[in-house]
Amino acid sequence: MNMLNRRTFVSTIVGLALVASAPFALADDKKMYIPLISKGFQHQFWQAVKSGADQAAEEFGVDITFEGPDNETMVDRQIDMLSAGLAKKPAAIGFAALDSQAAIPLLKQAKKAGIPIVAFDSGVESDIPVSTATTNNVAAAALAADKMSELIGGKGKVAIVAHDQTSRTGIDRRDGFMNRMKEKHPGIEVVSVQYGAGDQLQSTEISKSILTAYPDLKGMFGTNEGSAIGVVNGARESARKGLIIIGYDSGAAQKKAIMDGLMAGAITQNPVGIGYETVKAAVMSARGEKVELLIDTGFYYYDAKTINDPKIAAVLYD
Amino acid sequence: MTSTDISNQPSLLRRLISGDAQQKLLAFASLVLLLIGFSIASPNFMQVSNIIAILQASSVNGVLAIAATLVIITGGIDLSVGTMMTFCAVIAGVVLTYAGLPLPFGILAAILAGAFCGLCSGTLVAKLKIPPFIATLGMMLILKGLSLVISGTRPIYFNETAGFDLISRGSIIGYFFPSLPIPNGVLILFLVAISVSYILSRTVLGRYCFALGSNEESVRLSGVNTDRWKMAIYALSGAIVGIGGLLIASRLNSAQPALGLGYELEAIAAVVIGGTSLSGGRGTILGTLIGALIMAVLINGLRILSVAQEWQTVVTGVIIILAVYADMMRRRKSG
């Protein structure tokens, strides 16, 4: 009886793992297989990248998988995903590095095995990737600075709520915004830059304290979805009227804030395009065709008037 | 055969399949079955390079889980192992990269930093009588914050310290047997496991570790300074976490100050899959090691089979519950 029970449990454990995986195991036989190792997985932004990748996979007749760690600090988990991806002997790999240095040994291994790497979202500081599909974040944040200047009339105090100070995107967006203000809009002073880890609640608290500290603040820039929502929440909770808020990326909450007039507008990247171009470049390089070293996937500024423009609506996500 | 017979003459076979040995057998059998199952399901699973990747993926979690096992056997819990690991890695970064001292100092500093943090937790628990859950929750946050403060929220790279990346990535075994390039990180995991196993089974510290978990009050009443032993166990656990910090820093060739939150739960999961009781007094290092391997094999195998990531998480959760339930059922029947 005792023995029987134990066996049942053990076989249930194994059975469950296998049953769950069987349908997937059968699929990857003849078609070209390309794993995408992303920086994240659960955020709407990454889901939009995935949808672009799926679209390209269907178009080019290849199989893809899309994986990323639970949060953007888990560098070692991403390395494990990359090494599992390599073990599957793929035709090519798409990779958005959390920390490019940490991944170099594996990327070298891929190069030795003749597996082309396509970097996406943020670059890898190495010459191994055959191509990088990304947004020019510096130029995109500079556009946000131009719009901010236009909306507050070229002078006054503004603040930045950024998502982090270590990642490439965080640095580029912050510096892109600040440098443009210094160069082109001397009447505007960036009085505070704070970091909320892209966490909505944390960014809300940060925004409220900035608003308390600077009663004459004219505008705020949130450097990603979570930061931007945080700024909107902070302004709402502090009952601050007339503050010009510019956000980044989209998402249902941010789109609604723009429609309701709480937010002036936002920069959107083209996540669907990032996913699509990554898979396309991976397929092409696996076939031995030449690909561009840098693929600019583009960005737009949108506001309540342009949000339904087909060109923009196509790259926004909920 | 009646029960008196068994207690009078425990046959070797009986002893092997009873008690802790039985639990290890159960966990080990699950591990083997998983390996066989995945090998059948995908030809890419059973390759030397992939098995090495699995071992490497389990090295950090394995070391943290061994550290957590010690504290859990005393009837405590340690929520700080993940961020403590990061803290130790940052300390190694400060000593090696900022101060430019030679490699052995960095290694020593990381291990001592861990032992000191462990001693702090131990003091909070033993002397101030703060429940382990709360004391280590506090430590978890303190260490997370300190890692960020000390590093200036930037990763510290070890590019200037020659040989640092070899701690985890190099391979002494591969040097002697070129066909078996098992990374040093895995070797270190096994060395830690063997040492701690020895301490638990052969030393006074090990005996008190179990005694504290089974019945602290009676140990105290028999005249033992339980506080001191408890603090020693927490410090030892911390030193092992320090080794984990070195392993992850070496593997990433950097100390990532924001990393670490969530790792404590995976370590605890490996401990319970390995049959260690969360109520204390019972547990083995071999079980924990197998628990860590089961988790690494499971995740790697599901990835190799291209199972969607959301389902990987579900399956892992189910496995943890099944493993603990199976263990409870067996215990209820046998005891």
Residue-wise pLDDT for A205-237, tens only, equals 889 889 988 889 999 999 998 899 999 999 988
Residues from chain A that touch B262, judged by Cβ atoms under 8 A, are 70-71, 74
- Given pLDDT bands bounded at 50, 70 and 90, which one contains residue A316? confident
Using CB atoms, pick whichever of B309, B319, B323 lies closest to residue A67.
Answer: B309
pLDDT at residue A304 greater than cutoff 80? yes
Task: Kindly state the tokens that stand for A23.
Answer: 């349908």
Per the DSSP assignment, residues forming a β-bridge with A265 are: A246, A303
Does B252 contact A1 at a Cβ distance shorter than 8 Å? no
Best residue in A1, A8, A14 to probe B by mutation, most B CBs within 10 Å?
A14
Show the tokens assigned to B42: 């995908």
Contact yes or no for B322 and A12 at CB 8 A = yes
Token pair of B320, please? 């943890």
CA distance B316 to chain A (A): 9
Does any domain span residue B31?
Answer: no
Question: Does ipTM top 0.85?
Answer: no
CATH topology identical between A30-135+271-298 and A137-268: yes
Residue among A3, A21, A78 with most chain B CBs within 10 A, to mutate: A21
Q: Output B306 or A141, whichever has higher pLDDT.
A: A141
pTM over 0.90: no
Question: Which residue from A minimizes the CA distance to B298?
Answer: A17
Domain A137-268: homologous superfamily in CATH: Response regulator (3.40.50.2300)
Give me the pLDDT at residue A29, please.
52
Structure tokens at B12: 């070797």
Residue B4 lies in a domain: no
Query: In terms of pLDDT, which residue wins out, A3 or B43?
Result: B43
- Chain A nearest-CA residue for B44: A88
Q: Where are the domains of chain A?
A: 30-135+271-298, 137-268
| Interface touch A99/B252, C-beta < 8 Å | yes
pLDDT at A124: 79
Phi, psi of B108 (to 5 degrees): -60, -45
Q: How many residues does this entry show for chain A?
A: 318
Confidence check: pLDDT of A1 > 60: no
Per the structure, the count of domains in chain B is 1
Could A17 and B315 be called an inter-chain contact, meaning their C-beta atoms sit closer than 8 Å?
Answer: yes
Reported as a pLDDT band with limits 50, 70 and 90, residue A66 is very high
Q: Smallest CA–CA separation between A55 and chain B, in Å?
A: 17
Chain B residues close to A27, C-beta within 8 Å: 306
CB-CB neighbors (< 8 A) of A41 in chain B:
309
Q: What is the rounded distance in angstroms from the CA atom of residue A296 to the CA atom of residue A274?
A: 9
Minimum distance, in Å, between the CA of residue A302 and any CA atom of chain B: 32
Closest CA to A90 of A38, A30, A31, A33: A33
Chain A interface, best mutation among B294, B306, B314, B330, by max A CB count within 10 A: B306
- Name every chain A residue with its beta carbon within 8 A of the beta carbon of B42: 25
B47 touching A (Cβ < 8 Å): yes
List the CATH number of the domain containing B293. Answer: 1.10.3470
The two three-digit tokens of residue A276, written as one number:
């699509």
Measured between CB atoms, which of B29, B34, B330 is closest to A17? B34
CA angle B318, B321, B327 (to 5 degrees): 135
Q: A17 and B60: CB-CB below 8 Å?
A: no
Residue A200 in tokens: 């909505």
B222-225, Cβ contacts within 8 angstroms, sequence gap of 24 or more? none
> Is B38 domain-assigned?
no
Beta-carbon contacts of residue A316 (< 8 Å; ≥ 6 apart): A250, A255, A268, A302, A307
Distance CA B180, CA A44 (A): 42
Please indicate whether, in this complex, the C-beta atoms of A99 and B254 are within 8 angstroms of each other.
yes
Distance in Å from the first CA to the final CA of chain B: 18
Q: Where are the alpha helices (DSSP H) in A33-191?
A: 44-60, 75-87, 100-112, 137-152, 168-184
Q: Which of B253, B308, B319 sits opposite A101 (nearest CB)?
A: B253
Residues forming a β-bridge with A250: none
Contact B154 A166 (CB under 8 A): yes
Picking from B37, B50, B262, the nearest residue to A17 by CB comes out as B37
Which CATH number describes the domain made up of A30-135+271-298? 3.40.50.2300
Spatial separation of the C-alpha atoms in residues A222 and A230, rounded to whole Å? 8
Q: For A146-157, what is the mean pLDDT?
A: 95
Partner residue opposite A17 with nearest CB, options B53, B302, B308? B302
**Residue B76 CB burial class (10 angstroms; 0-12, 13-18, ≥19):** buried
Q: Which of B42, B155, B252 sits opposite A76 (nearest CB)?
A: B252
| Mean per-residue pLDDT, A274-289 | 95
- Show the domain range for B48: 44-327
Kindly give the parts of chain B with pLDDT less than 50: 1-9, 16-17
Query: Taking CB atoms and an 8 Å limit, are A10 and B153 in contact across chains?
Result: no
Q: How far is CA A30 from the centre of its chain?
A: 31
User: Does the CB of B41 have a partner CB in chain A at under 8 Å?
Assistant: yes
Phi, psi of A301 (to 5 degrees): -100, 135
> Which of A10, A41, A66 lies closest to B26 in CB terms?
A10
At residue A240, the pLDDT reads 86
Determine the number of helices (DSSP H) and then strands (DSSP E) in chain A: 11, 12
